[in-house]
Amino acid sequence: MKTVIYSTTSKDIEKAAEIISRGGLVAFPTETVYGLGADAMNSKAVADVYKAKGRPSDNPMIVHVSDSSDLDKLTGSITNDMKRLMDELWPGPLTMVVPKGESVPMRTTGGLDTVAVRMPANEVALKLIAMSGCPIAAPSANLSGKPSPTRADDVIADMDGRIQGIIRGEDCKVGIESTVVDMTGETPVILRPGIITAQKIEAVLGKKVIYDSALFKKAEDEGFKPRSPGMKYKHYAPEADMVIVSGQRTNVESEIERIREDKEREGLKVGVILFEENGFDEAAHDLFADLRDMDKAGVDLIIAGALDTDDQWGFAVMNRMVRSAGYNIVKV
Ligand code: TXA
Ligand code: MG
C-alpha cells in the first residue's frame, strides 16, 4: 500500500479526513502521541487498525471527538462528574471510560460494554475529526509493543506501507499517552496514569480518585488483572536490552557509570537515559523519542535512571519506563 504523507494545511487535512470517512486509516498528531485513526463507527475500518498495528483484538481503542456534543452518539449516560471533567480538562490529555452507547461497534471497544473517549488538545487532530464527520478511534500509531511515536518520522518508520495516510505535524508536546480514568462507578479509578494527575481530577470533582491496583503490580505477579486491557501486553519496548537503575541520585549515577564501563569493555554499545532530577515534563516529552533514537543508533544496552514515583508525573513516566525495560530494575 502506498502511504501518502500529508501536511497540516486545511486542504491536506480535508483529504486525510476523506480517507477516514471512506473507511481508510490515517495517522495524525495529538498533544500526547501520534494516533492511528479510523472511523470509530465502522467495524471494518477498526479491524484494519488492529491489523496495521499487529494489535491483539481485545485491546480497545480510545474514541476521539472534536466537540463534547459528539459524546451523545457514543454513550447513553453523561453524569455530572463527566460533564465537569469535560468542561475543565477538555480538550486535553484525559480519556474517560464511560458506558458504551448501542451504536458503537463492539470491535471498537474490544468487546467491552464501556467506551473510552477523549478530546485531544491539538488543532490538527480537532480539524481532522470535525472534517471526517465521525468520531475517530485511534490507538497510538506504533507497531504493537514498540514505544509510542511522538514525532512524524517515528510514525513513518512504523507505518509506511501499512496505512493510507500520515499527517506530518509537529512533535507531540506531552510525549506520553493520556490519563485514562474509569468514570463508570461512583469513585473515579485511574487505569493509566498521565500528566493529568489524580490530584487534578480530585480538585475538579471535589471527591477522592483511586488508582487501579494493577498499576502497582508486575505482569507476572499473582492477581495482575488490569481493568485497562492494554496494560497487560508487552509495551514500549526498544530493540535494545534495557535496565533501570533506581535509588539515591549519586548512587544511581555511579552505578550507571559502572555498568556502562563494564559493558563497553565487553564490546557492547551502551546508551544512557538520565533525566534531570525533577525534570518530569522533560522526561515525559523525551522518553519514547530517546528509546527510538537509541535503537536507530544501534545501541545494544540502554541504562536508564529511575524517576521519583512520589511525584505524580514521575509515577506516570515510570509506568512506561518499567515496561520498556521489561521490569528489569537494579536497586542501589
Ligand atoms: O494519548 C492517548 O491516549 C493516545 C492518543 C493517540 O490519543 N492514544 C492511546 O491509545 O494511547 P492506546 O490504544 O495506545 O491506549 C489506549 C488505552 C489502552 O491501555 C486500552 O486498554 C485502554 O486505553 N482502554 C481503551 N478503552 C477502554 C475501556 N473501555 N476500558 C478500559 N480501558 C480502555
Ligand atoms: Mg499504545
Q: Please list the residues that pair with 301 across neighbouring strands.
A: 241, 270
- Check: CB of residue 14 under 8 Å from CB of residue 131: yes
Residue 233's region, left for phi above 0, alpha for psi from -120 to 50, else beta, is: beta
Cα–Cα dist 198/303, whole Å: 29
CB distance 32 to ligand 1 below 6 Å: yes
Name the DSSP letter for residue 213: G
**Which of 55-69, 129-143, 191-205, 300-314 has the least mean pLDDT?**
55-69
- Looking at every residue in the chain, the average pLDDT score rounds to 95
pLDDT at 83: 97
pTM: predicted TM-score of the whole model, two decimal places: 0.96
CB distance 27 to ligand 1 below 6 Å: no
Atom 10 (ligand 1) nearest CA: 139
CB distance 238 to ligand 1 below 6 Å: no
Residue 140: which residues within 8 A CB-CB, separation 6 or more? 33, 34, 35, 36, 148, 149, 177
Which amino acid does the sequence have at 73? K
Q: Could you tell me what percent of the chain has a pLDDT over 90?
A: 90
Task: Report the residue among 55, 89, 95 best suited for mutation to probe ligand 1: largest number of ligand atoms under 8 A from its CB.
Answer: 95
Alpha carbon of 74 to ligand 2 centroid (Å) = 21
With H, G, I as helix, E, B as strand and everything else as coil, classify residue 172. Answer: coil
Query: Which helix H or strand E contains 6, and what residues bound it?
Result: strand 4-6
| pLDDT of 225 strictly over 90 | no
| pLDDT of 223 strictly over 80 | no
Cα–Cα dist 261/238, whole Å: 21
| pLDDT of 173 strictly over 70 | yes
DSSP letters spanning 47-79: HHHHHHHT--TTSPPEEE-SSGGGHHHH-S---
How many helices, marked H, and strands, marked E, lie in the chain?
A: 10, 15
Among the atoms of ligand 1, which is closest to the Cα of residue 100?
A: 29
With H, G, I as helix, E, B as strand and everything else as coil, classify residue 332. Answer: coil
Atom 21 (ligand 1) nearest CA: 230
CB distance 60 to ligand 1 below 6 Å: yes
Q: Please list the residues that pair with 271 across neighbouring strands.
A: 302
Task: Report the residue among 140, 146, 236, 288 best suited for mutation to probe ligand 1: largest number of ligand atoms under 8 A from its CB.
Answer: 140
pLDDT in tens, 108-142: 999 999 999 999 999 999 999 999 999 999 999 99
Cα–Cα dist 82/88, whole Å: 10
